[in-house]
Amino acid sequence: MRRLKKSRAIDLLEKFQNTKILVVGDLMLDEFLWGRARRIAPEAPVPIVEIERETLHIGGAGNVAANLAALGAKPIIIGVQGNDINGERLCGEFEKAGIDTSSITIDSLRPTTVKTRIIAHSQHVVRADREKKTPVNSEVESELINNFLRLLPSAQGVIVSDYEKGVITPSLLEKILPSAVAQNIPVCIDPKLKKFEHYHPATIVTPNQNEAEAASGITIDSEENLALVGKKLRQMLEGASVLITRGEEGMSLFENDNEVVNVPTIAREVYDVTGAGDTVVATLALGLACGASMLESAILANYAAGVVVAKVGTATASAKEVLDEIDNFFHHNVAD
């Protein structure tokens, strides 16, 4: 694994503090119902979960903002919520995290997206989604774009977090991406397959392996094919760098067409990968905004993701936890 000095990591994490990152994307409320399953339902072969407690977390692009806040940054969130009780609950969670909600657009024509997960004995039993995935209307889109352009001069980085819930449209991307790149602000995009050809200009795009394979039409079953996927995606993205997150295989970074840099995953027990991609793109964007190289930013993102996957449910990683991760799991790779 390429090395990152601990002193350099500390320096970067200190620079993260109060760095302003503009986050635009699909906002969600993650609802977790925790309980025990002691018996099977008589009417169907499914467990009966006796709910003991409920927790709420910010999801989707909001979780990207929550990760930024946990690392000490100042996220500026742009997205959409419904005019409903779940929108109020979502704003309440943002306020608890110290995240400004003044640039969230309220759309009375669509519900706030809610994902409800039932957990029994720390095992994920089922998830129920309440959402509307059609694109936002032109009025809402215009408000989102205007908010982005108004806030862009105050930002040091931009994250586009696309969950295909209707906020990130091709026309929105056409308006916001060139503006950010023209101001030399790093742009990181957490993509979805359907709009891959629209994610440019950008600094870096972070598909997972399934998304990368589907977008390129190439199965990653060898180092040769991995290199071909990276090269093809960079061509599709008109030269943007690509960081493919690959689960147990770690991450693969493509900054040019002739080299792939692999960042191995952390060897540890994984409890839940929920939101790990949000952690990766948040840490990556902060690194780039604070002057880190692409590789340094990817390594820090890998540490942060290692913290998050060891937690159950939607989670974040603090700067202290990232440093602890370096100490506990990569001490032999970090030089002081």
Number of domains in the chain: 1
Q: Is 166 a member of any domain?
A: yes
Tens of pLDDT, residues 162-184: 999 999 999 999 999 999 999 99
Contacts for 320 with CB less than 8 Å, ≥ 6 apart: none
In three-state secondary structure terms, 221 is coil
Tell me the pLDDT of the chain averaged across its residues: 91
Q: Dump the DSSP string for 82-137.
A: ESSHHHHHHHHHHHHTT-B-TTEEEETTSPPEEEEEEEETTEEEEEEEE---SPPP
Q: Is 1 a member of any domain?
A: no
Cα–Cα distance measured from residue 2 to residue 279, given in angstroms and rounded to the nearest whole number: 20
How far out from the chain centre does Cα 145 lie?
20
Q: Is 96 a member of any domain?
A: yes
| Pairing of the two strands 251-256 and 259-263 | antiparallel
Residues carrying an active site annotation: 278
In three-state secondary structure terms, 162 is coil
pLDDT of residue 335: 44
Q: Is 257 a member of any domain?
A: yes
Tens of pLDDT, residues 10-38: 999 999 999 999 999 999 999 999 999 99
Indicate which CATH number applies to the domain containing 186: 3.40.1190.20
In three-state secondary structure terms, 67 is helix
pLDDT at 326 over 90: no
Nearest to 306 by CA among 251, 254, 230, 244: 251
In three-state secondary structure terms, 196 is helix
In three-state secondary structure terms, 243 is strand
Cα–Cα distance measured from residue 165 to residue 287, given in angstroms and rounded to the nearest whole number: 27
| Pairing of the two strands 187-190 and 157-161 | parallel
Note every long-range contact of 265-268, with CB atoms under 8 Å and residues 24 or more positions apart, other chains counting.
265/302, 265/306, 266/302, 266/303, 266/305, 266/306, 266/325, 266/329, 266/330, 267/329, 268/306, 268/309, 268/310, 268/329
pLDDT of residue 259: 85
pLDDT of residue 269: 58
Cα–Cα distance measured from residue 305 to residue 276, given in angstroms and rounded to the nearest whole number: 5
In three-state secondary structure terms, 266 is coil
Cα–Cα distance measured from residue 57 to residue 99, given in angstroms and rounded to the nearest whole number: 13
| pLDDT-derived band at 323, boundaries 50, 70, 90 | confident
Q: Is 295 a member of any domain?
A: yes
Q: Is 49 a member of any domain?
A: no
Tens of pLDDT, residues 182-202: 999 999 999 998 889 899 999
Q: Give this prediction's pTM.
A: 0.92
Q: Is 306 a member of any domain?
A: yes
Nearest to 265 by CA among 212, 217, 329: 329
Tens of pLDDT, residues 48-101: 999 999 999 999 999 999 999 999 999 999 999 999 999 999 999 999 999 999
pLDDT at 4 over 90: no
Residue-number span of the structural domain to which 153 is assigned:
6-28+60-112+133-333
Q: Is 107 a member of any domain?
A: yes
